[in-house]
């Protein structure tokens, strides 16, 4: 899932630009675009006295209303990353974020805003569409699996084997509070090479690998691997090979991009 972050001060044209962008993305990838808007201090008021409002106020984590052509969901969740996780789980291909300008995603800056990781300044919508590959990726394990299933010859598929690597905090006497992977070009090059090698193996019908970048804290997800295979033996062997390759080329010894341990 690509994160297309649109940021700017009030009245800088964010909403108008996003409407045009969503129309183009939906025409090309129907049902694959999601939008997240930062409401800031303008909190969303629930309709008083309505059943859904009552259920939510009584403590329900999620409340959904479904009519003949849409659904509306209330959630107590206001963490941006967790909402992005829901979008990835749902198979969204492009998540357009309006606002949240303090977040460090690669972004479009409108108006007078000068922000971290600004890759386009006051562009028109066509410039954004041409630059989609420059924006950050965001995936969950379920999002990886869903994308793989949607792009694999399922009638021949006997299994999907997955692996979810996390940052281990304690290894013997060594404690690691986080790992850091800042050389994104090297990261993408290695992961792309491993993915293509896995896909070329006998009996493998498809593969998806995502490796998170930046600072990854102990206990957080670092790697997602999903492999579709005709038979489980081929699938397990391919996943094992991918794990070993990533560990050798990214995580071990001199190949580790950056590591920090407690003093």
pLDDT averaged over every residue in the chain? 91
pLDDT at 194 over 70: yes
* Alpha-carbon span 99 to 17, nearest angstrom: 13
Domain 141-260 carries which CATH code?
3.90.1170.40
Interval 245-254 mean pLDDT: 79
Tell me which of 160-164, 184-188, 209-213 is least confident.
184-188
Please give the class, per CATH, of domain 2-137. alpha beta
* Residue 108 burial (10 A CB sphere; 0-12, 13-18, 19+): buried
pLDDT at 136 over 80: yes
Query: Is 146 in a helix, a strand, or coil?
Result: helix
Question: What would the pLDDT profile of 172-182 be if each residue is shown by its tens digit?
Answer: 888 889 888 88
Residues 6+ apart with CB under 8 A from 19: none
pLDDT for 254 equals 44
pLDDT for 260 equals 54
pLDDT at 233 over 50: yes
Interval 120-125 mean pLDDT: 96
pLDDT for 144 equals 96
Question: What would the pLDDT profile of 27-76 be if each residue is shown by its tens digit?
Answer: 999 999 999 999 877 788 888 999 999 999 999 999 999 999 999 999 98
pLDDT at 160 over 90: yes
Tokens of 227: 């492999």
pLDDT at 235 over 80: yes
Interval 225-238 mean pLDDT: 97
Instruction: Name the nearest CA neighbour of 176 among 111, 241, 249, 262.
Output: 262
pLDDT for 255 equals 42
- pTM, two decimals, is 0.85
């Amino acid at each position: 899932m690509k994160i297309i972050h649109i940021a700017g001060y009030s009245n800088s044209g964010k909403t108008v630009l996003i409407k045009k962008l969503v129309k183009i993305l939906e025409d090309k990838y129907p049902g694959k675009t999601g939008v997240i808007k930062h409401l800031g201090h303008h909190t969303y008021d629930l309709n008083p006295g309505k059943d859904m409002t009552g259920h939510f106020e009584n403590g329900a984590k999620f409340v959904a209303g479904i009519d003949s052509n849409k659904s509306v969901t209330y959630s107590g969740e206001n963490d941006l990353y967790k909402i992005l996780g829901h979008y990835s789980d749902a198979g969204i291909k492009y998540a357009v974020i309006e606002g949240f300008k303090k977040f460090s995603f690669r972004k479009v800056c409108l108006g007078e805003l000068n922000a971290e990781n600004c890759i386009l300044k006051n562009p028109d919508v066509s410039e954004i569409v041409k630059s989609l590959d420059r924006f950050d990726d965001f995936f969950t394990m379920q999002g990886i699996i869903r994308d793989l299933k949607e792009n694999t010859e399922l009638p021949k598929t006997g299994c999907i084997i997955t692996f979810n690597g996390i940052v281990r905090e304690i290894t013997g006497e060594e404690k690691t509070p986080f790992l850091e992977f800042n050389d994104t070009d090297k990261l993408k090059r290695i992961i792309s090479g491993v993915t293509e090698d896995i896909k070329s193996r006998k009996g493998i019908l498809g593969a998806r690998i995502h490796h998170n970048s930046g600072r990854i804290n102990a206990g957080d997800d670092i790697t997602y691997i999903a492999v579709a295979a005709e038979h489980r033996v081929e699938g397990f062997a391919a996943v094992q090979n991918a794990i070993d390759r990533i560990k050798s080329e990214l995580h071990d010894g001199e190949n580790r991009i950056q590591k920090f341990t407690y003093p």
